[in-house]
């Protein structure tokens, strides 16, 4: 069945290292969202793309985070250099503006721990 996939599911890294997270949206969905979830802040929108073009990345720390969609089946989120405060669960979601209510479907998430 159609679902969003994310890799890796878990990542433990040391401060200063580069982290790359990948997302494959549901086939046919042309909008991709990156969220970060922490206990303190809840779900925060980091960036989103429509038809591979970035529409909004205002929620993302620009100095260390970058998001791209090299093709319609792959979205990436990179953190360089990583810091302990980046520890969180990162979710990718996809959707389609064709559907009236614009619902989004979430992937399983990448749990990131930066030590």
Partner 1 sequence: QKEVEQNSGPLSVPEGAIASLNCTYSDRGSQSFFWYRQYSGKSPELIMFIYSNGDKEDGRFTAQLNKASQYVSLLIRDSQPSDSATYLCAVNTGFQKLVFGTGTRLLVSP
Phi (first) and psi of residue 30, to 5 degrees: -115, 5
Q: Which is nearer to partner 1, 16 or 97 (CB)?
A: 97
Q: Which is nearer to partner 1, 15 or 98 (CB)?
A: 98
User: Which stretch in 11-19, 43-51, 66-74, 78-86 sits in contact with partner 1 by CB under 8 A?
Assistant: 43-51
Query: In the chain, count of helices (H) and strands (E)?
Result: 0, 11
Residues between 83 and 112 that touch partner 1 (CB under 8 A): 91, 95, 97, 100-109
Which of 2, 12, 15, 43 binds partner 1 (CB under 8 A)? It is 43
Q: Which residues have a Cβ under 8 Å from the Cβ of 48 and sit 6 or more positions away?
A: 31, 32, 33, 34, 54, 55, 56, 57
Computed over its alpha carbons, how large is the radius of gyration of the chain? 13
Q: Tell me which residues touch partner 1 (CB under 8 A).
A: 31, 33, 42-43, 45, 48, 50, 55-56, 91, 95, 97, 100-109
């Amino acid at each position: 069945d159609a679902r969003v996939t994310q890799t890796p599911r878990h990542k433990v890294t040391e401060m200063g290292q580069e982290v790359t997270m990948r997302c494959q949206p549901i086939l046919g969905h042309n909008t991709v969202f990156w969220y970060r979830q922490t206990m303190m802040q809840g779900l925060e929108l980091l960036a989103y793309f429509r038809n591979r073009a970035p529409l909004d990345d205002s929620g993302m720390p620009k100095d260390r985070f970058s998001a791209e969609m090299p093709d319609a089946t792959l979205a990436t989120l990179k953190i360089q250099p990583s810091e302990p405060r980046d520890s969180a669960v990162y979710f990718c979601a996809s959707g389609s503006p064709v559907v009236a209510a614009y619902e989004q479907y979430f992937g399983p998430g990448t749990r990131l721990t930066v030590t």
